[in-house]
């Protein structure tokens, strides 16, 4: 929204009719200040009559616009925007999300990864004003979305994360190390990593124990959420490389004790999510322990536009003078 510091300045626009009347009167009497535009050899500058008429009219129009611009600048134009700010920021977080093929197991409804993503969505809907980022890992690890408060962009990135998109395997240690690395690169803004996994580490050059030691050494708080159960479980997912739908049963090696040990090693906590309700309770528990942004208040931000209006007026005035020069051969 645009507002003005001094709206009474617009009364100066009324000076335009008076100026035109005085100028017309002076021209009838032969007055006015003239600057002949003669060349050194004595030849007078002149333009075609049609061009002179067009230039003269354009000069008058630009002159009027320049004056209106000067009056507008004097009125103090400014852009006014209402913003919600949080003087006390909440805990920013990076999720390390398991994207291995085993996350397509259906012992959690509708499957492990979809349940984890839907409950991460609940976390985003709490309007905490925390920055949230996501690192995905399978055989490889990659940053799905850097820490951001633009939850719409994060949702768009997360929509493309499916079982197997980062390879056939579970590089749990590599994924956790990547999440810790990005938390540190955030310059202290991110202080928590939430690892969501079915816990079957079988790939990668970094061991989960080394990644936990790294988190503890760098002061990054770790929460481990174990998703799934042990034993024969149904599995169904689409291979991202071939588009082939794979269905059958899967011998889940989910090891809750190993995940508890990893969380303890980093000085963090472990939460079990053997089914949908348990996964929701786990996320609610994490959310309850985090410090949300406090002291939200609405503020008015004002940005002055006087300088840009003044610059445009100066350009219009210069063009008006130039076109008047072409149209009349002198300036009055």
**Confidence (pLDDT) at 96:** 95
Cis ω before 144 (30° cut-off from 0): no
**Confidence (pLDDT) at 224:** 94
The C-alpha atoms of residue 243 and residue 127 are separated, in whole angstroms, by: 36
Q: Which two tokens stand for residue 274?
A: 């053997």
Residue 21 has pLDDT above 70, yes or no: no
Residue closest to 209 by CA, chosen among 282, 273, 262, 269: 262
Percent of the chain's residues with pLDDT above 90 = 28
The C-alpha atoms of residue 176 and residue 208 are separated, in whole angstroms, by: 7
Residue closest to 63 by CA, chosen among 328, 313, 326: 313
**Confidence (pLDDT) at 63:** 78
- CA 293 distance to own-chain centroid: 19
| Mean pLDDT of the region 111-138 | 83
**Where do the domains of the chain lie, and which CATH numbers do they carry?**
2-81+303-328 (no CATH), 92-289 (3.40.50.410)
The C-alpha atoms of residue 178 and residue 173 are separated, in whole angstroms, by: 9
| Mean pLDDT of the region 315-320 | 82
**pLDDT tier, 215 (very low <50, low <70, confident <90, very high otherwise):** very high
The C-alpha atoms of residue 1 and residue 302 are separated, in whole angstroms, by: 10
């Amino acid at each position: 929204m645009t507002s003005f510091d001094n709206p009474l300045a617009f009364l100066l626009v009324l000076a335009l009719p008076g100026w035109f009347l005085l100028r017309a009167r002076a021209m009838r009497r032969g007055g006015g200040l003239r600057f002949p535009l003669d060349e050194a050899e004595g030849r007078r500058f002149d333009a075609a009559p049609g061009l002179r008429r067009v230039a003269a009219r354009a000069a008058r129009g630009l002159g009027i616009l320049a004056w209106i611009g000067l009056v507008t600048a004097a009125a103090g134009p400014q852009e006014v925007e209402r913003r919600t700010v949080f003087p006390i920021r909440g805990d920013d977080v990076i999720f390390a999300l398991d994207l291995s093929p085993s996350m397509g197991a259906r012992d959690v409804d509708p499957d492990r990864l979809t349940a984890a993503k839907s409950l991460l969505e609940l976390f985003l809907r709490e309007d905490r004003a925390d920055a949230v980022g996501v690192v995905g890992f399978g055989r490889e690890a990659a940053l799905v979305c850097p820490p951001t408060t633009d939850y719409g962009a994060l949702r768009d990135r997360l929509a493309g994360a499916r079982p197997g998109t980062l390879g056939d395997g579970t590089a749990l240690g590599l994924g956790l190390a990547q999440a810790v690395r990005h938390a540190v690169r955030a310059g202290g803004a991110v202080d928590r990593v939430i690892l969501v996994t079915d816990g079957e580490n079988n790939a990668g050059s970094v061991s989960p124990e080394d990644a936990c030691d790294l988190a503890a050494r760098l002061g990054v708080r770790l929460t481990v959420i174990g998703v799934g159960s042990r034993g024969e479980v149904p599995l169904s997912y689409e291979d991202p490389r071939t588009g082939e739908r794979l269905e059958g049963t899967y011998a889940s090696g989910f090891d809750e004790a190993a995940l508890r040990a990893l969380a303890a090693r980093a000085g963090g906590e472990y939460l079990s999510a053997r089914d949908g309700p348990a996964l929701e309770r786990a996320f609610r528990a994490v959310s309850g322990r985090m410090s949300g942004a406090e002291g939200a208040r609405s503020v008015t931000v004002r940005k002055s536009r006087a300088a840009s209006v003044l610059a445009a007026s100066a350009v219009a005035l210069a063009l008006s003078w130039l076109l008047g020069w072409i149209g009349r051969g002198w300036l009055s």
